Amino acid sequence: MSRVRSVLREVWPRLAAIAILVAIWQLVYQSGFFDKVVLPSPLQVWRALGHDLGNGVIWRNTESSIVRLLIGFTVSVAAGTVFGLLEVASSFFERSFGSLVVGLQSLPSIAWLPLAVLWFGLSEQAVLFVVIIGSFPAVALATMNSVRQVPPLLQRAGRTMGASGWRLYRHVVLPAAIPGYVGGMQQGWAFAWRSLMAGELIIASANGLGGLLTRSQQNLETPTVIAVMAVIVIIGMFVDLAVFGTLDNRIRSRRGLLVHQG
- Write out 166-234 in H/E/C secondary structure: HHHHHHHHHHHHHHHHHHHHHHHHHHHHHHHHHHHHHCCCCCCHHHHHHHHHHCCCHHHHHHHHHHHHH
Q: What is the per-residue pLDDT for 182?
A: 81
What pTM was computed for the model? 0.79
Nearest in space to 158 (alpha carbons), one of 149, 167, 148: 167
Average pLDDT over residues 40-66: 89
pLDDT tens for 92-122 read: 777 777 777 777 777 787 888 888 888 888 7
Neighbours of 213 (CB within 10 A): 24
pLDDT at 75 over 90: yes
Q: What is the per-residue pLDDT for 262?
A: 44
Average pLDDT over residues 23-36: 84
Tell me if 43 sits within 8 A of 162, measured CB to CB. no
Q: What domains sit in the chain, N to C, each tagged with a CATH number?
A: 41-254 (1.10.3720.10)
